Chain A
Amino acid sequence: DTAVSQTPKYLVTQMGNDKSIKCEQNLGHDTMYWYKQDSKKFLKIMFSYNNKELIINETVPNRFSPKSPDKAHLNLHINSLELGDSAVYFCASSHGLAGGELFFGEGSRLTVL
């Protein structure tokens, strides 16, 4: 059973399009995250949700909108895609307590042409 699953794994799209990435976790965690990893492997947090409540929103353009319908799901919708949005997007989950392990999905590679 996959603990944190993201779909799709690969996305190729044109500039200006809108796309969504879905994430689901079956670990019973109450906190979920979206991370962006750029071409140089730099990993940066974008958002985190705790029990469907937005906790972290890291100066991400408002073209990016996360949605958490329940605590097992955290989706990422991106409007008006730009070249600079090309990256690997990782979903992760954890318990809400500090110091806990993050469990990552396999990533979704977004390529904007």
Chain B
Amino acid sequence: AQTVTQSQPEMSVQEAETVTLSCTYDTSESDYYLFWYKQPPSRQMILVIRQEAYKQQNATENRFSVNFQKAAKSFSLKISDSQLGDAAMYFCAYEDAGNNRKLIWGLGTSLAVNP
């Protein structure tokens, strides 16, 4: 069965600095998707960034980028120029391409941004 591991329950970063959140996953599939979702204190989960496993190029969305290492099954999230509004729980998730949209979620990393 697929699993997703986020080994950092809590992280902190100074405003304007860069932070990297780690995520590893386990799968025997070759076609899948990886996601980072953000859950601010208001609780609504929103998508930060998505990566398709067949694409070698790392996804980027403004200040958010990923380091996708398929062989190592690693999918870390880098947040550049951290802002106070980035403070949230960050969840890494995996989806097998042919599995009826069943996402497997990590336990989350709580990110604090210090002014």
Question: Which B residues have a C-beta under 8 Å from some C-beta of A?
Answer: 33, 37, 39, 42-47, 50, 52, 89, 91, 95-103, 105, 107-108
**CA of A57 to CA of B103, assembled, Å:** 13
**CA of A103 to CA of B47, assembled, Å:** 8
B37, chain A: closest CB distance, angstroms: 8
Checking B33, B45, B52, B107 against A90 with a beta-carbon cut-off of 8 angstroms, the contacting residue is: B45
Q: Mark A54-65, 1 if CB is under 8 A from B, else 0.
A: 011010000000
Checking A40, A45, A104 against B107 with a beta-carbon cut-off of 8 angstroms, the contacting residue is: A40
In the complex, chain B residues whose CB is within 8 Å of the CB of A99: 33, 50, 52, 95, 97
Q: Which of B37, B100, B107 has the most CB of A within 10 A?
A: B100
**Counting CB contacts under 8 A, is A101 at the interface?**
yes
In the complex, chain B residues whose CB is within 8 Å of the CB of A55: 100-101
Checking A31, A44, A48 against B105 with a beta-carbon cut-off of 8 angstroms, the contacting residue is: A44
Given A44-B105, A48-B102, A98 contacting B97 (CB threshold 8 A): yes
Closest-by-CB residue of A relative to B89 is A41
